[in-house]
Amino acid sequence: MKRRDFVKGAALAAGAVALTACGQNEEQAAAPKEAAPTAPAAPAISKQMRELKMVTTWPKGFPGLGTGAQRLADSITAMTDGRITVKLFGGGELVPALESFDAVSNGTADMYHGADYYWQGKSKAFNFFTAVPFGLTANEMDAWLYYGGGQELWDELSAGFNVKPFAAGNTGVQMGGWFNKEMNTVEDYKGLKMRMPGLGGEVLRQIGGQSITLPGGEIFPSLQSGAIDATEWVGPWNDLAMGFYKVTKYYYYPGFHEPGSTLSCGMNSKVWESLNSDDKAVVQFACAAENNRMFGEFNAKNGDSLDTLVNEHGVQLRRQSDDILKAIGDASGDVMSAVAASDPLTQKIYDNFLGFRKKAMDWTSLSETAYTAARALDYKYGS
């Protein structure tokens, strides 16, 4: 990455020194020497320091989500040698968590870190840039955003709200959720009260369940009191921290609703345009780095956490049946078609997304899916 060089000191001047010549008489030798000329000081180049306020939808320091936002803020600060200092505010510290987008849009804050499906009240198209039911995995999302036209569509959508967006984290495939009973058929979803926001909640309603939106802090007591029968959250690492295993033991997979949840950094458009080309590159690549790093962190932590849930806390890990998943898939298709019809831009994004999804599914089935199936065969490997 190109970095600007800073002047660190002035040039040294070589003064002329009067030497006593051989054979000079004593009077000449005693004559006072003329002072050496001093070179003019080099002009100082001042650093143009600025502080950017980043608001988040997460509590400060929350594992994975909050810590990833802080890591992004620290990376931008370090990579600009402190010319840009990003100061992070957790959800509710500067503005309420779900008002982060508005704060950046209107210039109250400079940047946000969150999940763009939180803004679906402004446009349902924002769902595509976090996760949609039976949508893209994390790897496929990166492919769509970086090389399939997704970023350009995201830019077009967000520009209408004075925001420049970037992918800046991913939690990977999420779990299906925690349930207070076994889920054997799609009929078991009828009347089920489940915490599941967004388009996943719309799908839940399609199959007869009740979608309830709750902030993170209210999920555990709601499960404990029976106000809800089930909940989704993220995955084993975050679910273990939330303590859901204390009140329910049925843990289902896979999650249909968020197959590769992309988290985002949005910057106020005027702030973005005020950056020079070097600092724009810093922001762009710091976001890309955090996008990859957070995905790696969730994958590393989830395995150990799942082992703890099952082997130390007696959680019963269950797979959703194919019949249930097919019924959910049909409902998901209906929901997505309705979303696409919202407005012309959403339809444009949906059409591009759907075309890319088909190509991604073809390649994934021949590459990662086929490989993981081969890796799981019974053969000798290692000691």
Are 221 and 204 contacting, i.e. CB atoms less than 8 angstroms apart? no
Task: List, for residues 26-48, the tens digit of each pLDDT value.
Answer: 344 344 444 445 544 444 344 67
Instruction: Give the burial string for 103-115 (b: 16+ CB within 10 Å, else e).
Output: bbbeeebbbbbbb
Give the model's pLDDT for residue 197.
84
Are 112 and 101 contacting, i.e. CB atoms less than 8 angstroms apart? yes
Residue 220, burial from CB neighbour count under 10 angstroms (0-12, 13-18, 19+): middle
| Helix intervals (H) in the chain | 26-30, 65-79, 100-105, 138-147, 150-159, 198-206, 216-225, 236-242, 269-274, 277-311, 322-340, 344-364, 370-375
**Chain mean pLDDT for the chain:** 89
pLDDT surpasses 80 at 360: yes
d(CA 90, CA 66): 8
d(CA 101, CA 112): 7
Task: List, for residues 137-170, the tens digit of each pLDDT value.
Answer: 999 999 999 999 999 999 999 999 999 999 999 9
Give the model's pLDDT for residue 336.
97
Mean pLDDT of 219-223: 95
Tell me how far CA of residue 193 lies from CA of 174, 188, 223, 359, in angstroms: 19, 11, 10, 36
CB atoms within 10 A of CB 188: 16
Q: pTM, whole model, 2 decimals?
A: 0.85
Mean pLDDT of 171-191: 97
